[in-house]
Amino acid sequence: MQMKLKLKHIILLSVFIIGIAKSYVFYIEKNVASLKKQVNARKKNINLLKVEWTYLNQNSRLQKLAKLCLPTWRPIEPKQMKDVQKIKAGFAHVEQIEKEERDRLEKEERERKQRKKYENKSIQNAQKKKQTLKEKNDQKTNIAEQKKQQQAKVSALNKGR
């Protein structure tokens, strides 16, 4: 009796589980369908935007706009097309001028720095002189004081004797 009951239960349970799984699948499929719809709508919109993009980027329209808005600009001419190496060679004299100017600027800066250094040095020297003088004075006074102290100590010691 117990065995038979178990079989019944297993079958019932499995059916139940299958049912639940199926319903869950329906739910997901429904979601997928609605998402696909949305994707389609988006795709259509993107397509329309692409069409608009190409329509607005028509060469004829761009040419008209360029004539209107950039009256001083002109299309590139064959003259302007050059190899990169050739451009380098062509700009050699420009480079030289630049180099000269750079050198000149560097020179000026160096001079300025030197001048500054010199000025600084002179100031420093003056300060140093002052300091040394002060120090000398200080030393002198110090020495005098020390002597005095020593003399006082000596005198004190002498008195003690």
Partner 1 sequence: MIRRLIIFALCLFLPLATKLTSYLFYKEVGVVKLQTARADIVDSTGVLLATTIGTQSVYIIPHEVLEKEKIINDLSEILNVEREKIAARFAVPSKKFVWVLRHIAPWQASAISQLNYSGLYVARDMRRFYPLGGLCVHILGRVDDMNNGISGVELAFDSKLKKSKEPLQLSLSMPIQFVLKDVLDEAKKEFSAKSGYGMIICAKTGRVLASYSQSSNSDVNPHENDQEAVNLNTQHVAERGSIFKTINAAMLLENDLVDVKTEIFAPAELKVGKHRIHDVDKRTKDCIYSFEKAFAKSSNIVHGLFTIKAGAQKQVEFFERVGIFEDMKIDNLSVARGLIPKKWSLATCITAAYGHSLATTNAQYMRAMLRMITGFESQLHILQNYPNSKNEQKRIIKQSTCDKIRYLLRLTFSSSWYGKQNEVAGYEIGGKTGTANKLIDGKYVDKHSVCTYCFVFPTNDPQIIGIVSLDEPKATPKTFGFVLASFNVAPLGAKIIKKIGPILGLVGK
Could you give the CA distance from residue 46 to residue 31 in angstroms, rounded to a whole number?
A: 22
User: By C-beta, is 49 or 105 nearer to partner 1?
Assistant: 49
Question: Pick from 6, 13, 24, 40: which binds partner 1 (CB under 8 A)?
Answer: 40
**Three-state secondary structure readout of 84-144:** HHHHHHHCHHHHHHHHHHHHHHHHHHHHHHHHHHHHHHHHHHHHHHHHHHHHHHHHHHHHH
User: By C-beta, is 82 or 117 nearer to partner 1?
Assistant: 82
User: By C-beta, is 68 or 157 nearer to partner 1?
Assistant: 68
Is 18 a binding residue for partner 1 by CB under 8 A? The answer is yes
| Shortest distance in whole angstroms from residue 88 CB to partner 1 | 14
Cα-Cα end-to-end distance for the chain: 132
DSSP output for 41-60: HHHHHHHHHHHHHHHHT-HH
| Shortest distance in whole angstroms from residue 89 CB to partner 1 | 14
Q: Which residues bind partner 1 (CB under 8 A)?
A: 8, 11-12, 15, 18-19, 22-23, 25-26, 29-30, 32-34, 36-37, 39-40, 43-44, 47-48, 50-55, 57-60, 63, 75-83
